[in-house]
Structure 1
């Protein structure tokens, strides 16, 4: 993984001084820096995917995990300009579809330019910018691109015809999936939503994905004062707020709900809810949220998933709660709801990439069968 370099005024000045010292004033004046072609963030040839805040079209805001910007361009270099609120976000930029070699951007707080590539072959290229991190790392304003002198932004890639939306917690966000197996798994640098089971499944099915997920969130209770029923309809993922997503703007063919891991911990282990809800109350809360999603998307196929952390360990009641809710909904006449369990592997941390890949394979096969994809 290659880290992109921030192009700050200080670093540019230092580089120029070193150049003057080495090559002389005359040479420096004879070889001025090449002018960049600036592309605004509101250029129609850029392709955005995710719940992007376009209330200021020239300054769109990315806050949800796995939000993406794609484009095609000509020229030998690419830089992006970001204004990050907290300086905690991480992005990957993929060039020419090479998913094995992302260019990592560790965003600094404030407005900066980041050199992504400056050694590309002349001609046509493509890029994909992906927000690895989630709302708890804050939001980022995209301010546009800088191409080499003579470079041009081309028509965007064709949009995918299929759409999947995921509602989940840290598992869906990819918390800790790039951590070592024996290392801490809460660090932002090791969170990669683009390598979570959700994004992997979407790529396998050639579908666009929206990830509406937040680490620590639950249906009945979370590690913070709001739950997914409070949060799922927001435009801005940075905390609990009053922004509203337009559900008519993007309609999924498939919805995947993978929640209750935090409910399991907080109700059964931490005992934060007193008296604890009965089994029937747990089923009812989960069913209510599924019904809320169904009301938003009457035609979507809904997958009620669970796992692969200890909510699905042997003896856990929580798979039964999901199964009961799905059975009740099927019995009430909704035949477009199914269930997938990601098996417990005995690993007690957040799933690593290999586990996400295995879970994605199960989910991909299930969706293929149900949707004929």
Structure 2
């Protein structure tokens, strides 16, 4: 009898162990699976290791099962990503990546979900200053599946800008620092909000500190905007023909205004005509890549649009007017995001206000 009880115990233990081990078996879904929906300037030189470096680059997928493990290889260990489940973006999971190759088990996000399909979105909050991240795929439960991908949106908007567009400091305390990487969230930038308002996919090419004539570092947007990688100034080349936007929004001038007026970084100091011509030159080059898009020049909402610096509004507006006069098909629109007296990068509330203004403008121009 004692031997029978002992044998029964071992059989039960084996069954429990075997059941536990199989229930936790995971399968790899490689990053080159055609059922992933990628958005943004993503580098595919290694299809199984696509690189997400620009703010707002994202991966979406519809999955089944109750296990979710992300496999990420981060360049510097400085990037943050939102992970949004079933579109619930008010309180996403936020993951801080470690340098190198790591797995991030987010299975707890699926706890208690009874539906057969879960949509996940992996969204890069941070920008090129933080480096690139290779996405190597997902691990799902053994019998789970990656299902048909979410449908790509037909409307397309491209944004070119600086820290305002990136969302620098937008989640910081109003009376606190606004340069913490953990509080930089492009998802709640005016650019991403505008795209969601209009049900449009978007590409963002932005970098904190950059200008069209002078930057806080040794390269400017005319030397940067053609890259496929956002990690510093490099020789990578984006193929503009593979993604043509309906609308292009350019919000540059904040850094130029500060560095020229206050820091005197450019010597000899450029004249009004020099500044206007530099802006025109960049816009002309950009328009060669997007000949059919509606362009919108924007400025603000930091102190480049404050009353005492209204000459910068005049510079940009004059450049736009001259471009439109020289080419009747240009039809570049102009908009300002008003300075409200806040001495810092705009917070989320300001981004929402600016997005509402831009959304109204685009709706009017595009009849969306």
| TM-score grouping bracket, smaller chain normalisation | over 0.9
Of 327-336 and 345-354, more deviation after overlay is shown by: 327-336
Please list the CA deviations of residues 275-329 of structure 1 after superposition, one character each: whole Å capped at 9, or x if unmatched.
Answer: 2100111011001111111111111000000000000000211100111011101
* Count of residue correspondences: 350
Structure 2 residue 313 is matched with structure 1 residue 323:
no
Equivalent residue for 1:256, pick from 242, 249, 258: 249
Matched, 1:223 2:216: yes
Matched, 1:306 2:299: yes
Where 2:104 maps in the other structure, the secondary structure is: strand
1:97 has 2:90 as partner: no
SS at match of 1:42: coil
Equivalent-residue separation in structure 1 for 2:248 and 2:19 (angstroms): 59
RMSD: 1.4
Where 1:56 maps in the other structure, the secondary structure is coil
- The residue that corresponds to 2:60 in the other structure is 70
Partner Cα distance (1:181, 1:30) in 2:
52
Q: 1:355 aligns with which of 347, 350, 365?
A: 350
Q: Is the contact made by 1:221 and 1:266 (CA closer than 8 Å) also made in structure 2? A: yes
- Give TM-score scaled by structure 2 length: 0.93
Q: Note the alpha carbon deviations across 1:350-370, whole angstroms, 9 max, x for none.
A: 000000000000000000000
Q: How big is each residue's C-alpha offset from its partner over 1:204-223, in whole Å with a ceiling of 9 and x where there is no partner?
A: 00111100000000011101
Q: 2:365 aligns with which of 351, 359, 370?
A: 370
Q: Per the alignment, in what secondary structure is the counterpart of residue 180 of structure 1?
A: coil
1:121 aligns with one of 114, 120, 126:
114
Which residue of the partner structure matches residue 85 of structure 1? 75
Q: Structure 2: where are the runs of 5+ without partners?
A: 1-12
Task: Deviation per CA, 1:5-42: give whole Å up to 9, x if none.
Answer: xxxxxxxxxxxxxxxxxxx9996566326101210000
| Separation (CA, whole Å) in 2 of partners of 1:126 and 1:164 | 23
Runs (4+) of structure 1 exceeding 3 A deviation are: 24-30
SS in 2 for 1:200: helix
Equivalence map 1:225-244=2 (5 Å)? 225-244=218-237
Determine the structure 1 residue equivalent to 2:274: 281
Q: Output one character per residue of 1:199-256: Cα deviation in whole Å (capped at 9) or x when no partner.
A: 0000000111100000000011101000000000000000000000000010000000
- For the residue of structure 1 that corresponds to 2:63, the secondary structure is strand
- TM-score, with structure 1 as normaliser: 0.92
Q: Equivalent residues in 2 for 1:160-239 (5 A)?
A: 160-239=153-232
Structure 1 runs not aligned, ≥5 long: 1-23
Cα deviation code 1:317-346 (max 9, x no counterpart) = 110011101110111123421001000010
Report if aligned partners of 1:75, 1:122 keep a CA contact under 8 Å in 2: no
* Cα distance, 1:162–1:122 mapped onto 2, change above 3 Å: closer
> Which residue, out of 222, 226, 246, partners 2:239?
246
How far apart, in 2, do the equivalents of 1:61 and 1:25 lie? 43
Instruction: Give the structure with higher Rg (CA).
Output: 2
